[in-house]
Each structure stands twice: as structure tokens, then as C-alpha cells.
């Protein structure tokens, strides 16, 4: 279903619609087929206007078996269209899905527009034209039949999918021909029968800025942002990571970028991955490590070491539902407090958060910029929704990206001592890579003496170094938070991370009611933008939506001594636009 959804997304992007997707799949590598635990789904929301979320509830559900129906029917509104593969509704499959009776034969689905299609049978008939094809081969192509049918319903082109099939299975002619036959059979079925009804045409979007676009997910743009920053800094990129859902795909993606000098290491564990990345930075490269959930716990000691060494290091945390293993294929924003405070000692580090799949590029580039300029580890927060969701992204001009100067230290005066912990105007210490003539210095996790960098156990010096490291992070220049406000707005919706789409959609719905409201979004969570205090105190009510128990709300109350209204969801799913609309309306002063 992920394959079919991805191909439908590509066809939709080709047509020129704006879109947002929501893939969902089991955590188990091979979940029991036909059970609720094994249901894999792919939701797409597309239109001829700006799209912000994958949608609250579907207008069409394609259920390939009883488990898919059972898992999703509870979230449908009355009148929703449902297409089912009626061949899959056998007694055994019904039992595995928890049905006592066949829902297609009773009145349990009378609130919906149900269309029964014998997909398995039709696939087998289509495969009969392929020499050597078996019934098993045909059954594996049912997803392509469903894709062809939905492409006909929404007037999506199939030529791109046919090209993809031909390339994907070029070395397997039988598999290629069976899949092509199934895709064409689904499209033809929709065209030739009257079961489905009228086609639905969605015109190209007209409110999208002009430019060259490509369909991307957050993993792709994160990798491109890291590569772009390494090129602009003139430093080789080394990504060291241990496989963990959902961050593993970043390792896979960057492993294919050797054309840009990217080096990837699949480490034996999370601690080793962080150490390898920090070692790359010590050697004068751009060290990056990526993980999710429990991996952040294991990397904490090395992040503290990077803070003590004051060397650049980028840590990408693709958040997922926890704690522990939790729900590894579901999304959450619950690592914010961990990113800020999850280390021993006084070791503040900058935290940057991406807001959309496309924005992951900018967030990754910014994380590298801060790490190199201020000689500090930087945590980049994305999440599973951003990593897997896709949207059309306007490709930026490489020439417009700013150069990042690593400003390696030099020591040209043999009569003067090299001071590795002397600081520049922003508090960053000298970055002297091994082999720099005259710049030999002590390295390690023990406290350093101010300026000279020798090992020091002096309490007064420790206090000063602690203050200097904290002041450097606190003084990082970040853009002011930008507020999109209606005249007379008394409520501010302040989000961070992947809540951006839902807050934008919820605010848009409230404005469609004629009610004034303000919206802002945070991309820098440490340090906060300098104008944030003024923005918070400008409005009577501040609504803070999060996919956690209210971590940013807690920080804002403590830091700025202002009350905020916390709106949270912790179900492993993104926020819904409808729920955001209702929360905003409830926050409106009487």
C-alpha cells in the first residue's frame, strides 16, 4: 500500500495539485497478514489550493481486506465512499479482523457508499494474458489494480507508474508484465463499468508560487540540507548512525550521495555512532549523527563531550512515540525536554526544529550553520510525520544559499602561545584541526582552563567556563518570530515542529468564519527568538498545540511567567485541523 500510495502521490504532483501525505505502517517487520496489527495505510490530501495537512477524515477509503476496513471505518464520516476487495472477505479473513459476520452483507455499513469490486478475480483474469503467470503472481499485483482504479476515479495519469514498473522490474519480465496488466485492468475497470459513478476532477493548484518543484519527504530534504551545508562550508560530510526506526532512512539516503563526498558509517551501536561523528568534526569535517527515541538517551554522554570540547556536531533526532520502544512507527514531539536538558552537568546546546517536509532542508542547513559558527553540538528535531510525509517543494537556488565559513584556526606567530579557548566576538573558541602548525592543544572531557585550554580543577575557573559556554549558546543570533495576525486578534496560536500544517489549517478555518486570530511558529527552541516575550504578552490568550503532554507550554510558563493554553494529542498521529479549529474557538475570549 505504501508503493501504491507513493505512485499515486507522484501522479498527483505531476498534475500540479498541492498535496500532503500520511503513510502509516506496522512496527513489526512482518506483521500477521489480515490482522489489525498488520494493516498498512497511505492517506493523501490533495486539492487545487494550498494544502496544509493530510486531512482529518478521508472522502474515499480503499479497503483491500476486512482488517483494513475494521481499522479505518471508525474514523469515517457518514456518506464516505468505500471501495472494498470483496474477494478478500473470506470467513478466515473476517475472523482475523474480528468480524463475526460479513459487514458487506449486513446493515453495518449503510451510512457509507460501499462499492464491492472483485479485485483478486479481476487481477487473475488480467494475468491470464501474461505467459507463465500464476494465480500467486496475480494476487501480489492487487495493489496495482486498486491504484489503476483510483487513478481513473481522480483522472490521474498512469504513464509515470508504467515507466516506474518497467524500470523497477526490468530484470523480471514476468513480474513487470503482471503488474502492468493489473494497473491497466484497474483503470479499464473504472472506465468500462458503472459501479464507481462519475469521475472527480481536481484542477491544478493556482495559489502556489512559481518555480521548479519536486515531490519530497522530510528525510530527502534533511539529507539535501546537510549536503548543501557541507558544500557551502567546503567540508566533507560524515554521517554515522545505528539503524533505528524512523531515522534509518536518512542513513540510506545519504549513503547514495558519494558524488558529493558524503561518507556514511553504520556503527555497531548508538554510542559509537555519536563518537564517530564527533571524531569527524575533530578531524576538520562536518560530523552528523542521526537517531530516534532511545538512541538519544545513548548519545547523551557524547553530546556532553562535544559541548565540553566545543566542537561542531549535528544530532538529528527523528522523534517517535515513546518511551522506550513505544510505538516506533507512530509520530510524537516528546523529545523536546530531552533535547534541552537530557544531559548531565550544565551543558546547554542549541535546538532547531523543522516544521514541514520541505522546511527540513532549511532546518538542516541552519543546524549546520550554527554548529560551525558557534563551535557547538546542535540538535535538529524532526519527527516521523515529517520524515515520511511528502509535499511539493520548490527547489531553492544553490547560488542563493549563503557560504558557511568554518574559520579554522591558524597560528603564525611562533613566539606567542596558541590559545585554543580564546574566543571570538560570538564566544566561539578556536577550531584547530590536527596537524595545524603551532596549534597543538589538549583535548578531552576534563574541564579546561580559560583561554589556555589546559586541564583545570579550579572551582572559579569551572564556574567561568560554565558561564562562557552557556552565554555562547544564549547569544546565538536567530531570527525573530514572525506573527501572522488579523487586526483585532486576541488569541495567538503558537506552534513548533510538525504542528505547523494543522495550526495553519485551523487558523484558516477560523478566519473563514470571520473571526480574527494570530499565528506564529517557532523554529528555534534554544535560544528562543529575542522578541518572543513581547509577542506572548501582546495577546490575551496564547494557545500552544503539541504532540506531547505540553512540554513547550511548560517552558513558556517557566521562562516568561505568562499563562498559556495547552492543546495536546498523544495518539501517535498528527494534529487534526478540525480539532485545532475547535481549540481556537474555545480559546476565544468571551
d(CA 64, CA 1) in angstroms, rounded, equals 9
d(CA 31, CA 149) in angstroms, rounded, equals 27
d(CA 47, CA 54) in angstroms, rounded, equals 11
The DSSP output letter for 327 is B
Average pLDDT over residues 447-459: 97
In tens, the pLDDT along 385-420 reads 999 999 999 999 999 999 999 999 999 998 999 999
Q: What is the pLDDT of residue 159?
A: 96
Average pLDDT over residues 359-363: 98
| Residue 131: partners with Cβ closer than 8 Å, 6 or more residues away | none
3-state secondary structure 555-575: HHHHHHCCCCEEEECCCCCCC
Checking DSSP bridges between strand 518-522 and strand 483-485, what pairing results, if any? Answer: antiparallel
Average pLDDT over residues 356-360: 98
240 φ, ψ (degrees, to nearest 5)? -115, 130
Out of 27-36, 82-91, 439-448, least confident range? 27-36
**Burial of 485 (C-beta count, 10 Å sphere; 0-12/13-18/19+):** middle
| Residue 538: partners with Cβ closer than 8 Å, 6 or more residues away | 483, 492
Which among 569, 503, 494, 564 is positioned nearest to 528, based on CA atoms? 494
Query: Please, which pLDDT band fits residue 207 given cuts at 50, 70 and 90?
Result: confident
d(CA 575, CA 518) in angstroms, rounded, equals 18
Task: Evaluate if pTM is beyond 0.85.
Answer: yes
Which among 311, 313, 315, 312 is positioned nearest to 453, based on CA atoms? 311
Distance of alpha carbon 98 from the chain centroid? 33
Q: What is the DSSP string of 418-438?
A: --TB-B-TTSPBPB--TT-TT
Q: What is the pLDDT of residue 417?
A: 94
Q: What is the DSSP string of 477-546?
A: --PPPPEEE-TT--EEEEEEGGGHHHHHHHHHHHHHTT---EEEEESEEESPPTTHHHHHHTSSEEEEEE
Q: What is the pLDDT of residue 196?
A: 74
d(CA 343, CA 302) in angstroms, rounded, equals 9
Average pLDDT over residues 195-206: 84
Average pLDDT over residues 77-90: 96
Q: What is the pLDDT of residue 584?
A: 98
> Three-class SS of residue 180?
helix
Query: Please, which pLDDT band fits residue 30 given cuts at 50, 70 and 90?
Result: confident
In tens, the pLDDT along 256-303 reads 999 999 999 999 999 999 999 999 999 999 999 999 999 999 999 999
Out of 31-40, 178-187, 482-491, least confident range? 31-40
Please, are residues 586 and 576 in contact by the beta-carbon 8 Å criterion?
Answer: no
Please, are residues 223 and 257 in contact by the beta-carbon 8 Å criterion?
Answer: yes
The DSSP output letter for 288 is E
Q: What is the percent of the chain with per-residue pLDDT over 90, rounded to a whole number?
A: 95
Domains of the chain in start order, with CATH, are 2-192 (3.40.920.10), 213-393 (3.40.50.970), 407-477 (no CATH), 483-587 (3.40.50.920)
Dihedral over Cα of 308, 314, 315, 319: its sign: positive
Checking DSSP bridges between strand 263-266 and strand 237-241, what pairing results, if any? Answer: parallel
Q: What is the DSSP string of 446-478?
A: S-B-TBT--B---HHHHHHHHHHHHHHHHT---
Q: What is the pLDDT of residue 43?
A: 97
Please, are residues 55 and 43 in contact by the beta-carbon 8 Å criterion?
Answer: yes
> Three-class SS of residue 318?
strand
Q: What is the percent of the chain with per-residue pLDDT over 70, rounded to a whole number?
A: 100
| Residue 466: partners with Cβ closer than 8 Å, 6 or more residues away | 346
Tell me the residue length of the chain: 590
Query: Please, which pLDDT band fits residue 226 given cuts at 50, 70 and 90?
Result: very high
Average pLDDT over residues 333-337: 98
Query: Please, which pLDDT band fits residue 33 given cuts at 50, 70 and 90?
Result: confident
3-state secondary structure 41-109: EEEEEEECCCCCCCCCCCCEEEECCHHHHHHHHHHCCCCCEEEEEHHHCCHHHHHHCCCCCCCCCCCCC
> Three-class SS of residue 322?
coil
Mean pLDDT value across the chain:
96
Cell numbers 571524531 correspond to 279
Assess whether pLDDT exceeds 80 at residue 444: yes
Dihedral over Cα of 69, 72, 75, 76: its sign: negative
Query: Please, which pLDDT band fits residue 35 given cuts at 50, 70 and 90?
Result: very high
Assess whether pLDDT exceeds 90 at residue 514: yes
d(CA 455, CA 442) in angstroms, rounded, equals 8
Assess whether pLDDT exceeds 80 at residue 155: yes
Cis peptide leading into 220, omega within 30 of 0?
no
> Three-class SS of residue 203?
coil
Amino acid at each position: 500500500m505504501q508503493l501504491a500510495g507513493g505512485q499515486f502521490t507522484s501522479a498527483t504532483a505531476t498534475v500540479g495539485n498541492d498535496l500532503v501525505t500520511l503513510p502509516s505502517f506496522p512496527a513489526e517487520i512482518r506483521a500477521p497478514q489480515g490482522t489489525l496489527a498488520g494493516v498498512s495505510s497511505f492517506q493523501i490530501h490533495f486539492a487545487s489550493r494550498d494544502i496544509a495537512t493530510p486531512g482529518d477524515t478521508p472522502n474515499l477509503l480503499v479497503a483491500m481486506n476486512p482488517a483494513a476496513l475494521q481499522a479505518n471505518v471508525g474514523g469515517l464520516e457518514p456518506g464516505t465512499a468505500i471501495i472494498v476487495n470483496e474477494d478478500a472477505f473470506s470467513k478466515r479473513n473476517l475472523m482475523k479482523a474480528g468480524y463475526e459476520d460479513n459487514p458487506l452483507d449486513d446493515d453495518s455499513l449503510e451510512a457509507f457508499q460501499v462499492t464491492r469490486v472483485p479485485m483478486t478475480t479481476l487481477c487473475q483474469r488480467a494475468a491470464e494474458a501474461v505467459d507463465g503467470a500464476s494465480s500467486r503472481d496475480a494476487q501480489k499485483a492487487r495493489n496495482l489494480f486498486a491504484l489503476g482504479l483510483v487513478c481513473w476515479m481522480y483522472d490521474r495519469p498512469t504513464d509515470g507508474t508504467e515507466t516506474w514498473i518497467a524500470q523497477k522490474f526490468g530484470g523480471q519480465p514476468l513480474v513487470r508484465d503482471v503488474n502492468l496488466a493489473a494497473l491497466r485492468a484497474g483503470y479499464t475497470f473504472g472506465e468500462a463499468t458503472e459501479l464507481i459513478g462519475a469521475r472527480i476532477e481536481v484542477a491544478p493548484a493556482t495559489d502556489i508560487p512559481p518555480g521548479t518543484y519536486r515531490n519530497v519527504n522530510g528525510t530527502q530534504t534533511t539529507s539535501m540540507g546537510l549536503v548543501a551545508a557541507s558544500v557551502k562550508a567546503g567540508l566533507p560530510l560524515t554521517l554515522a548512525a545505528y539503524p533505528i526506526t524512523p531515522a534509518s532512512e536518512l542513513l540510506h539516503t545519504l549513503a547514495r550521495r558519494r558524488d558529493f563526498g558524503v561518507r556514511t558509517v553504520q556503527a555497531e551501536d548508538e554510542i559509537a555512532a555519536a563518537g564517530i561523528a564527533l571524531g569527524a568534526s575533530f578531524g576538520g569535517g562536518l560530523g552528523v549523527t542521526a537517531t530516534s527515541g532511545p538512541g538519544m538517551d545513548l548519545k547523551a554522554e557524547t553530546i556532553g563531550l562535544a559541548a565540553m570540547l566545543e566542537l561542531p556536531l549535528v544530532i538529528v533526532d527523528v522523534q517517535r512515540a515513546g518511551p522506550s520502544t513505544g510505538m516506533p512507527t507512530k509520530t510524537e514531539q516528546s523529545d523536546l525536554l530531552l533535547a534541552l536538558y537530557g544531559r548531565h552537568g550544565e551543558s546547554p546546546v542549541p535546538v532547531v526544529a523543522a516544521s514541514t517536509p520541505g522546511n527540513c532542508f532549511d532546518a538542516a542547513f541552519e543546524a549546520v550553520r550554527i554548529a560551525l559558527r558557534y563551535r557547538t553540538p546542535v540538535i535538529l528535531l524532526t519527527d516521523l510525520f515529517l520524515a515520511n510525509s511528502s509535499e511539493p517543494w520548490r527547489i531553492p537556488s544553490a547560488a542563493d544559499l549563503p557560504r558557511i565559513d568554518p574559520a579554522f584556526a591558524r597560528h603564525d606567530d611562533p613566539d606567542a602561545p596558541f590559545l585554543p579557548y580564546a574566543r571570538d566576538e560570538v564566544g566561539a573558541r578556536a577550531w584547530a584541526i590536527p596537524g595545524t602548525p603551532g596549534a597543538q592543544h589538549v583535548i578531552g572531557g576534563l574541564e579546561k582552563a580559560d583561554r589556555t585550554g589546559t586541564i583545570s580543577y579550579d572551582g572559579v575557573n569551572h564556574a567561568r567556563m560554565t558561564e562562557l559556554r552557556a552565554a555562547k549558546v544564549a547569544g546565538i543570533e536567530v531570527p525573530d518570530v514572525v506573527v501572522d495576525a488579523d487586526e483585532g486578534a486576541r488569541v495567538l496560536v503558537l506552534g513548533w515542529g510538525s504542528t505547523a500544517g494543522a495550526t495553519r489549517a485551523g487558523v484558516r478555518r477560523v478566519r473563514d468564519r470571520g473571526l480574527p486570530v494570530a499565528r506564529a511558529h517557532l523554529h528555534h527552541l534554544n535560544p528562543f527568538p529575542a522578541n518572543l516575550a513581547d509577542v506572548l504578552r501582546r495577546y490575551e490568550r496564547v494557545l500552544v498545540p503539541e504532540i506531547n503532554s505540553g512540554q513547550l507550554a511548560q517552558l513558556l510558563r517557566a521562562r516568561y511567567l505568562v499563562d498559556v493554553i495547552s492543546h495536546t494529542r498523544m495518539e501517535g498521529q498528527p494534529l487534526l485541523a478540525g480539532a485545532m479549529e475547535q481549540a481556537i474557538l474555545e480559546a476565544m475570549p468571551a
